[in-house]
Amino acid sequence: MTATQSVQAVYRSDYQPPTYWIDNVELEFDLDPRETLVTARIAVRRNADQASHTLELAGQHLQLQSVSVDGTPLSANEYSISNESLTLTELPETCVIETQVLVSPVSNKTLSGLYQTSGNYCTQCEAVGFRRITYFLDRPDVMATYRVTLRADKKTCPVMLSNGNRIAQRDLGDDRHEVVWEDPFPKPSYLFALVAGNLKCHRGTFTTASGREVALEIWVEPQNIDKCEHALVSLQKSMKWDEDVFGLEYDLDIYMIVAVNDFNMGAMENKGLNVFNSKYVLALPETATDEDYMLIEAVIAHEYFHNWTGNRVTCRDWFQLTLKEGLTVFRDQQFTADQTSAAVKRIDDVSGLRAGQFVEDSGPMAHPIRPESYISMDNFYTATVYRKGAEIVRMYHTMLGPEGFRRGLDLYFQRHDNSAVTCDDFRAAMADANDMNFDRFDRWYSQAGTPELFVSEHWDADKSEFSLTLQQAYPSLSGGNPGTTHRKPVPLPVRVGLLDANSGDELNEHSRVLQLETESETFTFSGLNAKPIASVLRGFSAPVRLRMDRSDAELAFLMAHDTDALNRWDAGQTLAAKLLLQSAKDVSDGVELKLSEHFRSAFARVLQDDAVDEAFKALALTLPRESVLGQEMDVIDPDALHTAREFFRSRLGEVFYTEFMAMYHALAADGAYQNDQTSINRRRLKNVVLGYLATQHSDEVIALIRNQFERADNMTDKQAALSLLADLDTPDREQALAAFYDQYHHDPLVIDKWFAVQAGSQRADGIEQVRQLTEHQDFCMENPNRVRSLLGAFTQNQVRFHQADGAGYQLLADYVLQIEAANPQLAARLVAAFNSYRRFDASRQAIIRGELKRIADHPGLCKDVHEIVQRALSF
């Protein structure tokens, strides 16, 4: 790959359909670790709208053995080949092109294309991995039916899987065998999957609404066969929910999931054969936390829901990625809300959006949910495309209601089943099915950045009228990225409720969704007896930053009384953030810190409120993250923020010590572990309370933490205790870390937790600890989970990663340079931790910029990292 090719941008405006379409694909794999022979026969027909008879097939890292057209072998002067493609000229209107190539799965460390993991064969083809398997039109608008023949040694590959239905299998002699798979539904190449090796199956069934029985198979390495039941139940629940809520039924005879250890992503929705990172499949109480269980259920659901929103209807080009991902994230969020608590789920989602996507929206990687250009498509599997994309879909749901949204989705499938389409097609279906005009909604797809919503209020006692003036604006962004200039007002559905200022009772007749279509508009509420308290942006009905002047007393009132759970939580977060930011300034100015009485009393009311469930209470009692607080500072001061937040935590732990201790003991489980929702909620609150107690460093509390660690019968409690011990200067720390490792060293996913706990430690020797752990016998640079558990977790450690001497920044840059050649996707995700460097003080900026330049100057730097680094340096 030349340097010019490595940084060549692709533009949405340049989209052209291919010169030829591919209708049918036959693939044959003779599997071998070093030399897998791939034979591909593709039936092509010329695109009637194109005049050319030339076809350029993408291909990378392939050893071409032969090419033929309609059975006639081509000589070397009848085609042209480069590091990126195979080009054929003067093709007939229709023909069958056959190629044979050799690929080396064992040496493929990118985890893209066909590779080996734990001795098993696996593929990952999204976004452009299929070109590492054979020469092809590796683009999502080319949809074909596939027949796949797999051949391998019976001892090393007793199991061989691919998309669709198994239609034949036979013994070949010489200890080899063959399996044939056929997928009757047209699909793009990114949905192709192949898995082969020594695997065991956990089986189940599901009977669809129309009465068909679907075989469910979860394939794992033999030692993990006892960890699959939760994944199976999650799949069955997902299938039932999609039928009940959206009327969508599964369409094949078999649905398979395979768990692999080495995987760049969370999971992949390949038609009928989902390949998963083992983190999102395997679970037992003693090895998986409550969060792991919930994530497994959510990710299983997400990939299953893709069968319709992504597979049956797919993207015309990769710029439309949010068409499938944003929509499917919204669907999995709704699913989880129905399985657990809608309020808690919404708070978790909004919290994640603010912590991750809002940062992205204000930095060098700011882009619309439908980007205008890219150098490496792998860099645009972002929080913006996924999380913000889901919020855009949610706004349709808010404006249309569940019934109107369902009508729009039904029309979308009716029009576009088995097609590759655009975001505009989805928007048109929603509009046409409900006789609405969503033309201005296009701005959400083409503009980058997070709008700010300014709200002011006015009370007219003479007229008994209360009015809210809503005004929207985009903050300025540097860098000149597409979608960041000349931005126009976007449609904003703003859900509002009014509360009686004395009782806190909801004035139901005045609750509504205000539709802001222009830059500014005033909405009036009449017939009120007294000035109410306004609860604005309920349920986070639009992805904006709310700017509304509130007194501490008013925020405390909403924290105690708001009937919208998200806004009640958010009032507490807003009050805490306001006070913490002032305290951070006081730290810088040398002013003595004090705990606000308003906040102390509001905190006490939440603590003592028995009307809310424990999960909500845990969220409401948790202070805003330092990374979120930093977004509100002109210049982020991580040291002052940490000092202020730790002061608040310590004072709250001191003031409410007796209440926390009583609550902890009341929440401690009696009897054996349970994973019902009530037990999960109780553990969540118990461990938040234990965190506050830990700030006191008393012998009583340390003994309590040690006791929880030693006696825990579940990973949730054990990991929570270990995380607290990891921050302490006590012999209990080293003893607990050693005991944890000795107990779980055989389980890779649990050892990931062991690495992550230490990477998150805020002790003064944290950076040295991370460096030492990179030399540990169980640290593997080729395993993305292990790298993320140590280096990825370290970048979230606000105290140590942003250490003033820059040692954290140097550490990250060192390892990005070690990883980028073998696994560009992983390295690019790590280096993105530098994206917000312009928000810090001049000294930190200079250090990070120096590290970015060091990376940029690295010879042969991969295009994934190059794109991220150059955008950061240009910001």
Alpha-carbon span 733 to 517, nearest angstrom = 56
Spatial CB neighbours of 426, under 8 Å, sequence gap ≥ 6:
323, 327, 412
C-alpha to C-alpha distances, 45 to 20, 79, 99, 140, nearest whole angstrom = 5, 18, 17, 17
Mean per-residue pLDDT, 802-814: 98
Mean per-residue pLDDT, 307-315: 98
Long-range contacts of 735-738 (CB under 8 A, 24+ apart): 736/706, 736/709
Answer whether 131's CB lies under 8 Å from 154's CB. Answer: no
Residue 84 has pLDDT above 70, yes or no: yes
Phi and psi at residue 874, in whole multiples of 5°? -90, -5
Q: Measuring CA to CA, which residue among 369, 368, 441 is closest to residue 400? A: 441
- Residue 500 burial (CB count, 10 A): 15
SS3 776: coil
CATH of 3-294, one of 3.40.50.970, 2.60.40.1730, 3.30.479.30, 3.30.70.20: 2.60.40.1730
CA atoms within 13 A on the CB side of 710: 9
**CATH architecture, domain defined by 315-446:** Orthogonal Bundle (1.10)
Residue 194 has pLDDT above 90, yes or no: yes
pLDDT at 5: 38
Alpha-carbon span 563 to 548, nearest angstrom = 19
Alpha-carbon span 215 to 232, nearest angstrom = 11
- Active-site pick, 98, 217, 303, 820: 303
Sequence-ordered alpha helix ranges (H) in 156-310? 229-246, 290-305
Residue 864 has pLDDT above 90, yes or no: yes
Residue 3 has pLDDT above 60, yes or no: no
Residue 4 has pLDDT above 50, yes or no: no
Residue 303 known to be catalytic: yes
Alpha-carbon span 360 to 266, nearest angstrom = 20
Alpha-carbon span 464 to 823, nearest angstrom = 65
Residue 697 has pLDDT above 60, yes or no: yes
Sequential DSSP letters for 358-415: HHHHTSTT---SS-SEES-GGGG--HIIIIIHHHHHHHHHHHHHHHHHHHHHHHHHHH
The pLDDT tens digits for 429-483 are 999 999 999 999 999 999 999 999 999 999 999 999 999 999 999 999 887 788 8
Q: Measuring CA to CA, which residue among 417, 558, 419, 547 is closest to residue 500? A: 558
Q: What is the DSSP letter of 290?
A: H
651-687+694-874 fold: Zincin-like fold (1.25.50)
SS3 133: coil
The pLDDT tens digits for 321-367 are 999 999 999 999 999 999 999 999 999 999 999 999 999 999 999 99
Alpha-carbon span 321 to 315, nearest angstrom = 6
More confident residue, 602 or 628: 628
For residue 622, name the pLDDT band (cuts at 50, 70, 90).
very high
Answer whether 318's CB lies under 8 Å from 127's CB. Answer: yes
Alpha-carbon span 62 to 102, nearest angstrom = 6
- Residue extents of the structural domains in the chain: 3-294, 315-446, 651-687+694-874
C-alpha to C-alpha distances, 427 to 141, 276, 327, 373, 443, nearest whole angstrom = 19, 31, 12, 21, 12
Spatial CB neighbours of 654, under 8 Å, sequence gap ≥ 6:
695, 696
Residue 718 has pLDDT above 50, yes or no: yes
For residue 687, name the pLDDT band (cuts at 50, 70, 90).
very high
Q: Which tokens sit at 520?
A: 């500014």
The secondary structure of 143-169, three-state, reads CEEEEEEEEEECCCCCEEEECCEEEEE
Percentages of the chain per state (helix, strand, coil), in multiples of 5: 45, 20, 30
Spatial CB neighbours of 408, under 8 Å, sequence gap ≥ 6:
396, 400, 429, 430, 431, 432, 433, 434
For residue 412, name the pLDDT band (cuts at 50, 70, 90).
very high
Residue 1 has pLDDT above 70, yes or no: no
Alpha-carbon span 386 to 325, nearest angstrom = 5
- Cα angle 33, 34, 40 (rounded to 5 degrees) comes to 85
The secondary structure of 682-699, three-state, reads HHHHHHHHHHHHHCCCCH
Give 415: exposed, middle or buried? Use CB within 10 Å, 0-12, 13-18, 19+.
middle
The pLDDT tens digits for 827-851 are 999 999 999 999 999 999 999 999 9
pLDDT at 7: 77
Q: Which tokens sit at 397?
A: 């749901």
Alpha-carbon span 685 to 683, nearest angstrom = 6
Q: What is the DSSP letter of 261?
A: S
Alpha-carbon span 57 to 82, nearest angstrom = 10
Q: Which residues pair with 144 in a beta bridge?
A: 187
Mean per-residue pLDDT, 673-687: 95
pTM for the full predicted model: 0.97
For residue 6, name the pLDDT band (cuts at 50, 70, 90).
low
Give 519: exposed, middle or buried? Use CB within 10 Å, 0-12, 13-18, 19+.
exposed
Give 450: exposed, middle or buried? Use CB within 10 Å, 0-12, 13-18, 19+.
buried
Chain mean pLDDT for the chain: 96
